[in-house]
Amino acid sequence: MNKKLSYEIRSGSASNGVRTILPADSNPALRGIAREVPISDITGKHIKKLIAEMKALLSKEKYGVALAASQVGEPVRLFIVSGRALARDSRNSPDEPEKKDERPAMPDQVYINPVLLKISRMKKEKHEGCLSIRGKWGVVPRAEKVMLRAHNENGEQFTRGASGFLAHVFQHEMDHLDGILYTDKATNVYDEKPEEPEAHE
């Protein structure tokens, strides 16, 4: 049974104080239910620093499209979706080559205390990878459309719908906040082929 983890845990920093993306087998935060961030803390020093560090980590990942706080050892309900993922044509699946120059660059988007409001009955299988499980990818069935509500890094509430690729990204990240890995839902898990990079979350 998943356990709610303490908001005070700080396990995502290496011995030199630099935050890192932790592998699933050594990160207990990935198997626990993350806590909500108090609204008053969203614009506080710690959350601001966490967001900045997560954005920096995500920017270094060539195929990374999203990152949850749990992946860096912070058991709070927060994830970031890269501008690359937001700009990507929603008709593209994670296993298809990304179209170049299809849209202007977009900033990363922060989702704090996200809640799924709607989820379609129709599901579709797509390939997924994970920055916490390197060298693997799997085929995961997920809802084709979702709508969620969250707060941004300024504490403002917003609602966003998504379909296709982005809907899969949202569901993958929501699972991270509930202690679920994509390998728990995958119909098949494979070793990643170097010549066939996947989108990782």
Q: pLDDT per residue over 133-178, tens digit each?
A: 999 999 999 999 999 999 999 999 999 999 999 999 999 999 999 9
Question: How many percent of the chain have pLDDT more than 90?
Answer: 72
Question: How many percent of the chain have pLDDT more than 70?
Answer: 79
Find, among 155, 128, 125, the residue nearest to 66 by Cα: 128
Looking at the annotation, which residues are catalytic? Answer: 173
What is the structure's pLDDT at 145?
97
How far from chain centre, in Å, is Cα 5?
18
| Measured distance CA(121)–CA(128) in Å, rounded | 20
The answer to whether the predicted template modeling score (pTM) of the entire model surpasses 0.95 is no
- For residue 81, give every residue at least 6 positions away whose Cβ sits within 8 Å of its Cβ, in sequence order, or none: 65, 66, 108, 109, 111, 166, 169, 170, 173
What is the structure's pLDDT at 103?
56
- For residue 88, give every residue at least 6 positions away whose Cβ sits within 8 Å of its Cβ, in sequence order, or none: 65, 98, 99, 102, 103, 165, 166
What is the structure's pLDDT at 14?
45
Candidates 3.90.45.10, 1.10.287.990, 3.90.1640.10, 3.30.450.60; CATH matching 3-98+107-191: 3.90.45.10
Find, among 132, 129, 172, the residue nearest to 148 by Cα: 172
Which residue has better confidence, 120 or 89? 120
Q: What is the number of helices (H) and of strands (E) in the chain?
A: 4, 10
What is the structure's pLDDT at 84?
87
| Measured distance CA(194)–CA(155) in Å, rounded | 40
The domain spans of the chain are 3-98+107-191
What is the structure's pLDDT at 92?
44
Place of tokens 């929603």: 90
What is the structure's pLDDT at 1?
41
